[in-house]
Structure 1
Amino acid sequence: MKKKYLLGAIAVVVIGLLAACGQTDHSTANGEEKKTIVMGTSADFPPFETRDNNGEIIGFDIELAKQVTKELGYELEIKDMNFDGLIGALQADTVDFVASGMSATEKRKQSVDFSAEYHRSGEMFVTLKDSKIKSMEDLNGAKVGVQLGTIQEEGAKKLAESTKIDIKTLNKVPELIQELKSKRIDAVYLDRTVAEGYVSELGLAAFKDESSGTPGMAMAFPKDSEIVDKFSKVIEEMKKNGELEKLEKKWLEKE
């Protein structure tokens, strides 16, 4: 994982990009028509999507989306918003698709269509280094932070049925990490890849949720979208030709 982007994710104030809705025609240098396609993301989830020190949105999902849309002949435009508003943006036709570390759950499939999966991770609980919480068994009575609208929020609610935990939801992952460092919460429940990055960069601790059976990440589209199959075809081809593996090595592997 590219650790240098994590501190920037905490420090940079996330702002929405002003972008036109839908797909707009643009003329290329050779006179051909090129359509702009609008992608929604929540740029607070390194290494999948975050902002660098210049405010540019970067990450694994971003580079993957750029490659897929380029292959399909689109000009990519990105809208940054809160994660829990992404599906609503698809339903309102504010964006054409979403790439934001989103797991293709059965519940979400009732509202949107998904492309082929492109990454599978799992979950971890992140704690302070000196925390007494070392495993799932130690979570009883703990205050656990989760990002609003995520599969981790769903998982925490399910865990609360059998373990006494107090769930705190916030819009942004860096906000949760700050709450943890300030000792206002005891643990943060995160995607494993994201969690490992924060542990490595900030000297935190973590343990796996062995009970998690999270579905893989995929790009989301409005129901009955005409382009979802085209995106899936390119993603599957990238799996076969090694391009997806190259992106994983660049963004997701530890340094």
Structure 2
Amino acid sequence: MTIAILYGVSYNYPIEGKANAFQIDGGNCNETAEKLTALFLAGITAATLGACTKEGGQSGNGSQNQEEKDQIVLGTSADYAPFEFHKIVNGEDTIMGCDVALAQKIADDMGKELVIKDMDFNSLLTELDNGTVDFVIASLAPNEERKEQVDFSDYYYTGGICCLVRVEDVDTYTTPDSLAGHSVAAQTSSIHEKVAKDQMADSPLVSLGKVPDMIMQLKTGKVDAVLMDKDTADGYLAENDDLAQASFEVFYEESTCAVAVKKGNTQLLEQINETVKEVKEQGLFDQYMEEAKAQAPSED
């Protein structure tokens, strides 16, 4: 390292036509020798200081790692009110919702700071497996396929699935079979996508990453129906007079939501289950849901 520093210094004073060379002549040998000695000592000092700075930086990283251990990172897809959504609060973009309230409760019970990472729904379990998030809460149904990839907590919510259509089509689409040949939208990698494939096999499936995109395509006639959780659908129905819930019911036996953790992370799973148990026993999630519905922003 000292050599590199000295090499850098010598490069600043090259002989004309001979870069990287010291200019030493007989008349100035003593003076030049003194300069070389000074440069050498300066190089050693710089190298020593550099080593100290590096150690200091490593110590700083250690502290940062310790701080990171005091955090727990949530992965979610904040486009699904009232479960998780964006809202401007005091001029700042804030992620909130009943799922986020549950995540905050989990973090509080663990004595950790909650950090939220917002991403596409279909990326959540991959990011969990990669370790970029510690747990996932995103109105996630613990079906058998997902259980092969991640571990789930006890369920914290039981809901229903509904089908949205345009008001003028309510009397046309009265059963799943009546949608044969007509396109149905569902969120990519969601349980609703599976429902569409199983129960509306003759309907072309349109998979979209964001729920607002599905609603827009329904309103503009690009798709004929949309599948989603009933609590989420209620919010869109309240804001869109041109949409309605189809008269038929959509049945699915796994209409529950649970928290996902990386496969084998039993310690975190046990801690989460303790919180989920308390939340269910005290009816806290119903409270979170009502608060989230009141906070959810109106659609522009």
Report the Cα distance in structure 1 between the residues aligned to 2:107 and 2:84, rounded to whole angstroms: 17
The equivalences for 1:166-185 within 5 A come to 166-185=204-223
1:15 paired residue number: none
Shift, 1:65, TM fit: 0.6
Report the Cα distance in structure 1 between the residues aligned to 2:229 and 2:286, rounded to whole angstroms: 19
Higher RCO (C-alpha under 8 Å, 6+ residues apart): 1
Shift, 1:252, TM fit: 5.2
2:8 paired residue number: none
Percentage of identical aligned residues = 33
1:48 paired residue number: 83
Report the Cα distance in structure 2 between the residues aligned to 1:185 and 1:243, rounded to whole angstroms: 37
SS in structure 1 at match of 2:257: coil
Find out whether 1:148 has 2:183 as its counterpart.
no
Do 1:34 and 1:73's aligned partners in 2 also have CA atoms closer than 8 Å?
no
Find out whether 1:227 has 2:268 as its counterpart.
yes
Report the Cα distance in structure 2 between the residues aligned to 1:191 and 1:245, rounded to whole angstroms: 15
Do 2:157 and 2:285's aligned partners in 1 also have CA atoms closer than 8 Å?
no
Report the Cα distance in structure 2 between the residues aligned to 1:24 and 1:187, rounded to whole angstroms: 48
Find out whether 1:69 has 2:107 as its counterpart.
yes
Report the Cα distance in structure 1 between the residues aligned to 2:75 and 2:97, rounded to whole angstroms: 14
2:31 paired residue number: none
1:97 paired residue number: 135
Shift, 1:24, TM fit: 4.7
2:119 partner amino acid:
M
2:244 partner amino acid:
A
1:196 paired residue number: 234
2:210 partner amino acid:
K
Match of 1:237 among 278, 282, 289: 278
Structure 1 24/62 Cα, relative in aligned 2: closer, same or farther at 3 Å? farther
SS in structure 1 at match of 2:174: coil
SS in structure 2 at match of 1:142: coil
Alignment deviations for residues 149-171 of structure 1 (CA, whole Å, 9 cap, x no partner): 1000111111244xx20111110
1:122 paired residue number: 160
SS in structure 1 at match of 2:72: strand
TM-score w.r.t. the length of structure 1 is 0.82
Report the Cα distance in structure 1 between the residues aligned to 2:152 and 2:80, rounded to whole angstroms: 20
Find out whether 1:205 has 2:244 as its counterpart.
yes
Alignment deviations for residues 54-83 of structure 1 (CA, whole Å, 9 cap, x no partner): 421111101111012111111100101100
Do 2:121 and 2:188's aligned partners in 1 also have CA atoms closer than 8 Å?
yes
Do 1:24 and 1:37's aligned partners in 2 also have CA atoms closer than 8 Å?
no
SS in structure 2 at match of 1:205: strand
Alignment deviations for residues 104-158 of structure 1 (CA, whole Å, 9 cap, x no partner): 1111001000111111112111111111323324212211011101000111111
Shift, 1:97, TM fit: 0.4
Q: How many residues align?
A: 224
1:35 paired residue number: 70
Match of 2:199 among 151, 159, 166: 159
TM-score w.r.t. the length of structure 2 is 0.70
Could you say which structure has the larger radius of gyration? Answer: 2
1:3 paired residue number: none
Find out whether 1:138 has 2:187 as its counterpart.
no
Shift, 1:34, TM fit: 6.7
Do 1:125 and 1:188's aligned partners in 2 also have CA atoms closer than 8 Å?
yes
2:164 partner amino acid:
V
Shift, 1:242, TM fit: 3.2
Structure 1 134/88 Cα, relative in aligned 2: closer, same or farther at 3 Å? same
